[in-house]
Amino acid sequence: MKTKKRGEIYISCLASNYKQPIAVLVERLLKVKLPDSQDDKPLESEVDYAVTLVVLLMLYFEAWVSRARHFDGRSDATNMDKKKYVTSWMNSLNEPSLEPIIARLEEVYFLRDAIVHNHIWTYTQRWAQGNAHYSNFDFDLTWQSRPKKFGNIVRGKLPLQSFPRTKLLNLMVVPGFVGRKEVALIFKTVKDALKLLNELDYLDIAHKVSYVRFGEKLSFPFWGLIGSIQKSYLGQSRTD
């Protein structure tokens, strides 16, 4: 907000408008039963909430970044810098301490794009002793992504015989298999990125304590939702 003689000038930022919807979806996500093991595909209802949360979390993040770019007062900042993608703008800041979080964000955006643009994967499902097994994951690179970008972010070469995951965060990149673990990892990445940008004085949000209504609590820390998601799956057994 800026003050002038004839009134106050406000600058729009939708970030806070996403917090409560995110909390509602997290609450509903946590009510979904976990699969029997970490190797099983999440239930469809978990995928429903998880993919929606991934998109909303990135909208929340981009709202803050858009505000930061509006106030980008660098003397060498050009209009093109301010119009580039989020990670391109962050790279243009030339802050070495941002490099690790930018690498994590590149993976998050790969998954976000897979969800928003409905990237098409094909795979084989077979049943053995009552359990589903998945293999031969293949991805059409002709128009959905660049081969080099895919190779930089996703482990292995197509077709993949195990679940396609990113190299750093271990994010599942097949939209129909995304679950609460991806939500927790992306939530944490968004928190870390905003914290770092704030410490570098590109944002001014440290003084704002964010609370949401969650479960029976009328005032629950927004970032505390990360721990609630993590607690819902930590300790789950693996079959391998």
Q: Kindly state the tokens that stand for 110.
A: 């790969």
- Distance from CA of residue 213 to its chain's centroid? 21
Mean of all residue pLDDT scores within the chain: 87
Q: pLDDT tens-digit profile of 197-218?
A: 999 988 876 556 689 999 999 9
Yes or no: say if 27 and 215 are a contact pair by the CB < 8 Å rule.
yes
Q: How far apart are alpha carbons 62 and 148 in whole angstroms?
A: 25
3-state secondary structure the chain: CEEECCEEECCCCCHHHHHHHHHHHHHHHHCCCCCCCCCCCCCHHHHHHHHHHHHHHHHHHHHHHHHHHHCCCCCCCCHHHHHCCHHHHHHHCCCHHHHHHHHHHHHHHHHHHHHHCCCCEEEEEEEECCEEEEEEEEECCCCCCCHHHHHHHECCCCCECCCCEECCCCCECCHHHCCHHHHHHHHHHHHHHHHHHHHCCCCCCCCCCCEEEECCEEEEECCHHHHHHHHCCCCCCCCC
Per-residue pLDDT tens for 2-46? 555 678 887 788 888 999 999 999 999 999 999 877 778 999 999
pLDDT at 15: 87
* pLDDT tens readout for residues 77-133: 555 655 568 998 899 888 999 999 999 999 999 999 999 999 999 999 998 887 888
Neighbouring-strand partners of residue 138: 122
Record the pTM. Answer: 0.89
pLDDT at 221: 95
pLDDT in tens, 135-184: 999 988 776 667 788 889 999 999 999 999 999 999 999 999 999 999 99
pLDDT, position 3: 52
Cα Rg for the chain, rounded, in angstroms? 20
What pLDDT, on the 0 to 100 scale, is given for residue 236?
A: 60
